[in-house]
Amino acid sequence: MYAATAHGDRGRKMHSDCCDPRFRPWYGAAVKKNRAVWSQVYNTCAEGEPALTLAKSVCRANGTLGGVLGTNVMLTTLTDFLQTVNICDNGVAFVIDADGFMIATSGAELPFKTVGDASERMHISEMQTPLIRSTFPDVLAWKSGPREPDAPLSHQFASGSRGLHVATKHIGRKHGVDWIRLAIH
């Protein structure tokens, strides 16, 4: 992997991954679609942590493939960003994928756990933050209920002895990711 110079030329070598990027799914998707694409979440070779890649094929002047330019976005970076968002004193914001696996959270825990030498993404039902975990049944009902595909959800529900407000919306579909953004307070 190389740092690019101001002119877009290959600069200094940053590190050498254990994986050849030409065999990563995001590389093939960018070549096939000939536009910028987002990958699904995967564990990077270099860090071994969950990330997603924004990739775009780059062609030479004669139209042949020159390569693929990609940038990784670590789930920890998205979580760091959400932790700067002030929902309220007792609120939490988080993002899950269409299957209920965590992408990022403003809570204290990471959206993944380490099992042996590998990182595994956490499912919303596995999260230790009570506001996140208690929302899971409502998210399932919202996803499977009758509604417009991109209609947001904003409603009150009871969790234990307190009432909570949840606001949620699908995000990213036009960019190739199917995520759900939630804020609870």
How many other CB atoms sit within 10 Å of the CB of residue 60?
A: 9
154 and 92 housed in the same domain: yes
Contact (CB, 8 A) for 101 and 124: yes
| Structural domain boundaries enclosing 143 | 83-184
- For residue 58, what pLDDT is reported? 94
Contact (CB, 8 A) for 81 and 60: no
Q: Please say if the pLDDT value at position 15 is more than 60.
A: no
70 and 161 housed in the same domain: no
Instruction: Using the 3D structure, point to which of 51, 74, 97 is the last residue of a domain.
Output: 74
Domain count, the chain: 2
Please identify which residue in the block is written with the tokens 């932790």.
83
- For residue 173, what pLDDT is reported? 79
Mean pLDDT of 26-53: 88
- The model's pTM is 0.78
Show the tokens assigned to 185: 């307070």
DSSP class of residue 90? Answer: T
Is 174 strand, coil or helix? Answer: helix
8 and 62 housed in the same domain: yes
Q: Kindly give, in sequence order, each residue whose CB lies less than 8 Å from that of residue 32, ignoring residues fewer than 6 positions away.
A: none
CA distance 164 to 156: 5
Report the percent of the chain where pLDDT is more than 90. Answer: 30
Angle at 25 between CA 21 and CA 27, to 5 degrees: 50
Greater confidence (5 vs 55) lies with: 55
Show the tokens assigned to 179: 């995520």
